[in-house]
Amino acid sequence: MAGETVLVIGGGPAGLEAARGVADLGYRTVLVEARDHLGGTPIAASYAALTHGMRDAGEVMGEMAAAVTGHPLVDVRLGTRVVACAGAVGEFAVTLERRGARETVAAGAIVVATGFDHFDPGRATQQYGYYQYPDVITLQDAEAMLKAKRFVRPSTGEPPGRVGFIQCVGSRDRHIGNEYCSKVCCGIASKQAIEIRQLLPACRVFIFYIDMRMYGYWENEIYWPAQERYKVAYVKGVVSEITVKGERLLVRGEDTTMNRPMEVPMDVVILSNGMEPSRGTREIAPILGLRQNKYGFVETPHDALDPVATSVPGIFVAGAAAGPKDLDDTIGMAGAAALKAVAAVRRAAGATPAGAVPA
Amino acid sequence: MAGETVLVIGGGPAGLEAARGVADLGYRTVLVEARDHLGGTPIAASYAALTHGMRDAGEVMGEMAAAVTGHPLVDVRLGTRVVACAGAVGEFAVTLERRGARETVAAGAIVVATGFDHFDPGRATQQYGYYQYPDVITLQDAEAMLKAKRFVRPSTGEPPGRVGFIQCVGSRDRHIGNEYCSKVCCGIASKQAIEIRQLLPACRVFIFYIDMRMYGYWENEIYWPAQERYKVAYVKGVVSEITVKGERLLVRGEDTTMNRPMEVPMDVVILSNGMEPSRGTREIAPILGLRQNKYGFVETPHDALDPVATSVPGIFVAGAAAGPKDLDDTIGMAGAAALKAVAAVRRAAGATPAGAVPA
């Protein structure tokens, strides 16, 4: 029955987990992904190891994708976008487009799992010279090198002797309009710092930060070892600009612990760029009539008490489409969203309290 | 059918949400709570406002409790403890005890939602004088005063002129064995700082911290306003002891931003004590055969990729039983755990992919 189908939009970790969850409850899912492959940002951005557990991103996402592509209740549509939506909970009619061809599918409920985009550090923070200096890179550029197990200074192809991370690039920054904390960059930078030290034991690694925001796994398995075992130097400070001195980059700013100006030479600077609403989120919200918060993420009006409910009954959100999330958050939300979507379908179909949806 | 029942252990936010989730999918739940009331720690510890949204804790927990007590598929057992468990997924036999009387119930899957206990700051951190000075209190003591809308200096009953929070009491502290970050204390202290400033506009409020760990809601709605609108003074520093000078407390330590010793007089000092495994978690883990991590929280062997799975198939965990969580985390995990529990029950009962459990 068409009204018993849940449409899941997005084939990254949140969407894959939500689709599997719906199917594991015995309900049909149509999983729509704009890209031509599943796996979302971890695959599209060439992530190396996923935290926690440092398992290979390709392997993990491959397993998650296989769980849905092999499931008889999941209908995967790649290279497909949602272009229109009508109806309400229990009877949404959603128009999909693939290579110019349109089709309308019926769904009782919808899960939005459109993820995030990485902040473009060239857009508004050009004091860091991302488009000017080849040795100024992003977390994603670094991740791709770490995936290849070869971390070099881009301008020379040689191993760097000094690497510095700059935290909160595009986050906690009122000037560019992103007051929010992107939540994961402290952990990802620290993880990469460890990986660089493992690959290049002679390389010195610095992290320039405002607050190190790590908890649970990140604190115990990443932050303590980064400091103690891997001797990563954490410097509480504000970096105001990056210039060049001789053959090296020069990180200039204020060391707020020592309370003095700092000028630190680096071979590679990694900008810890945060999360922004994805193109998919920006496109889908008006199509589905979802309210967005002032940053463009999908609004969750009940906040912590129902973190997956949106402003539209029967439409739920999972993962970073609702704002910066880590993988824990994303997988938990995906399960919760799948449950709420199936419950909404059941209610709309007039489920009796005692059990199954009437035929 | 007994094997289609999910046993939920714990009647706080995680357990209530999990029980409602299972019931919303049309499956039966037995919800076991050791206390004589539902609502968990927010009720037992007299929380005032729940974040996000600052809604009254009693009202919110009352609504969550009503959703399960009024549900025909949920069987609530108050004043009841789990004392034994046999069997495996699909056919657990769980012995409950209430006032000396025992009963065995059948369950296909189990959700552990036994929450956390607040760290006792008298246990190992007596340099803060919690049991010595009446004006040294905990976040929970402060919460109870804020609930009553009357925040006073306990020794005099008068409004304080200076209040200081000390962060990371019982957290990020290798000396006492709790290396982990408790995740919520930065946010709760900042929320309380705002509430104190609202009640007592003449009172100066300080927060002594290592890192302020706030993201999403906490950063945007709490941390920025606390600094800008409510003029809460955040001091990066390490407090080594609390003594008395004249009629006031004296907070002694090092201001690590100014890089100098500090001695700051206070009328009230609030210890931001973190989370520890609850008595319920410590009791239930060996009964169910669950592995615990080195702190005593329920181990989640798949970490972020399946944050609700435990070491025993068919037994899932939601909320702070698995380690420090905020309310967002807890509610998301509860939904995910409810889904996984129902999926496990369905699989154990030989569900066909296409739908309902065979009768």
- The answer to whether A339 contacts chain B (CB < 8 Å) is yes
Residue B126 has a pLDDT of 67
**Separation between Cα atoms, residue A45 and residue A32, nearest integer Å:** 19
- Is the pLDDT assigned to residue B259 strictly greater than 80? no
Verify cis geometry, omega within 30 degrees of 0, for the bond prior to A52. Answer: yes
* Half-sphere exposure at residue B280, Cβ-oriented, CA atoms within 13 angstroms: 27
User: Six-digit token pair at A177?
Assistant: 């309009």
- Is the pLDDT assigned to residue B184 strictly greater than 70? yes
> Which range has the worst mean pLDDT, B36-45, B141-150, B232-241, B306-315?
B232-241
Digitized pLDDT (tens) for each residue of chain A, 359 residues in all = 556 899 999 999 999 999 999 999 999 999 999 999 999 999 999 999 887 778 899 999 999 999 999 999 999 999 999 999 999 999 999 999 999 999 999 999 999 999 999 999 887 766 789 989 999 999 999 999 999 999 999 999 999 999 999 999 988 888 888 889 999 999 999 999 999 999 999 999 999 999 999 887 888 889 999 999 999 999 988 898 999 999 999 999 988 777 788 999 999 999 999 999 999 999 999 999 999 999 999 999 998 999 999 999 999 999 999 999 999 999 999 999 999 999 999 999 887 554 444 33
B182 to chain A, closest Cα gap in Å: 7
Residue B58 has a pLDDT of 94
B328 to chain A, closest Cα gap in Å: 4
Q: Which residue of A has its CA nearest to B302?
A: A53
Task: Please give the average per-residue pLDDT across B280-293, as a whole number.
Answer: 97
Task: Please give the average per-residue pLDDT across B161-181, as a whole number.
Answer: 91
Residue A327 parent element (H or E): helix A327-348
ipTM over 0.90? The verdict is yes
Residues of A in contact with B333 (CB under 8 A): 332, 336
Closest by CA to B301, choosing from B316, B283, B282, B280, is: B316
Q: Which of residues 31-70 of A touch B (CB under 8 A)?
A: 50-53, 55, 60
Which of B73, B220, B329 minimises the CB distance to A179? B220
Q: How many residues does chain A have?
A: 359
Given a contact cutoff of 8 angstroms between Cβ atoms, the answer to whether A185 and A167 are in contact is: yes
Closest by CA to B114, choosing from B12, B6, B16, is: B12
Given a contact cutoff of 8 angstroms between Cβ atoms, the answer to whether B183 and B226 are in contact is: no
pLDDT tens column, B89-135? 999 999 999 999 999 999 999 999 999 999 998 866 667 899 899 99
**Separation between Cα atoms, residue A181 and residue B66, nearest integer Å:** 35
- Is the pLDDT assigned to residue B357 strictly greater than 80? no
Q: Which residues make Cβ contacts (< 8 Å) with residue B174, sequence separation at least 6? A: none
DSSP string, B137-205: EEHHHHHHHHHTT----TTTSSPPSEEEEEEEETSSBTTTTB-S--SSHHHHHHHHHHHHHHH-TT-EE
Q: Which of residues 235-254 of A touch B (CB under 8 A)?
A: 236
**Separation between Cα atoms, residue B356 and residue B308, nearest integer Å:** 24
Which of A256, A303, A326 minimises the CB distance to B53? A303
Inter-chain contact A333–B332, Cβ cutoff 8 Å?
yes
CA dihedral A144, A50, A235, B221 (to 10 degrees): 120
Inter-chain contact B216–A323, Cβ cutoff 8 Å?
yes
Residue A125 has a pLDDT of 65
- Is the pLDDT assigned to residue B319 strictly greater than 70? yes
**Separation between Cα atoms, residue B217 and residue B204, nearest integer Å:** 24
- Is the pLDDT assigned to residue B341 strictly greater than 50? yes
Residue B127 has a pLDDT of 77
**Separation between Cα atoms, residue A170 and residue A176, nearest integer Å:** 7
Which carries the bigger pLDDT value, residue B357 or residue A277?
A277
Q: Which residue of A has its CA nearest to B217?
A: A180
Q: Domains along chain A? A: 2-115+278-348 (3.50.50.60), 120-274 (3.50.50.60)
Residues of chain A by 3-state class (helix, strand, coil), percent to 5: 30, 30, 40
Residues of A in contact with B180 (CB under 8 A): 215-216, 219-220
Residues of chain B by 3-state class (helix, strand, coil), percent to 5: 30, 30, 40
- Give the pairing of strands A80-86 and A92-98: antiparallel
Given a contact cutoff of 8 angstroms between Cβ atoms, the answer to whether A333 and A322 are in contact is: yes
Between the alpha carbon of residue A336 and those of residues A26, A61, A94, A332, B35, the distances in Å are 16, 20, 22, 6, 27
**Separation between Cα atoms, residue A113 and residue A108, nearest integer Å:** 17
Amino acid found at A89: V
Verify cis geometry, omega within 30 degrees of 0, for the bond prior to B52. Answer: yes
Residue A69 has a pLDDT of 96
User: Six-digit token pair at A276?
Assistant: 């922004």
Which carries the bigger pLDDT value, residue B238 or residue A231?
A231
Instruction: Give ∠ CA A343-A344-A346 in degrees, rounded to 5.
Output: 65
Size of interface A-B (CB pairs under 8 A): 198
- The answer to whether A354 contacts chain B (CB < 8 Å) is yes
Instruction: Give ∠ CA B241-B246-B248 in degrees, rounded to 5.
Output: 55
Given a contact cutoff of 8 angstroms between Cβ atoms, the answer to whether A19 and A8 are in contact is: yes
- The answer to whether B184 contacts chain A (CB < 8 Å) is no
Residue A332 has a pLDDT of 97
Three-class secondary structure assignment of A2-26? HHHCEEEECCCHHHHHHHHHHHHCC
**Alpha-carbon dihedral sign for residues A5, A8, A11, A14:** negative
pLDDT tens column, B19-71? 999 999 999 999 999 999 999 999 999 999 887 778 899 999 999 999 999 99
**Separation between Cα atoms, residue A135 and residue A251, nearest integer Å:** 12
DSSP secondary structure letter of residue A319: G
User: Six-digit token pair at A83?
Assistant: 């272009």
Question: What is the pTM for the complete model shown?
Answer: 0.94
Residue with tokens 């998919």: A280
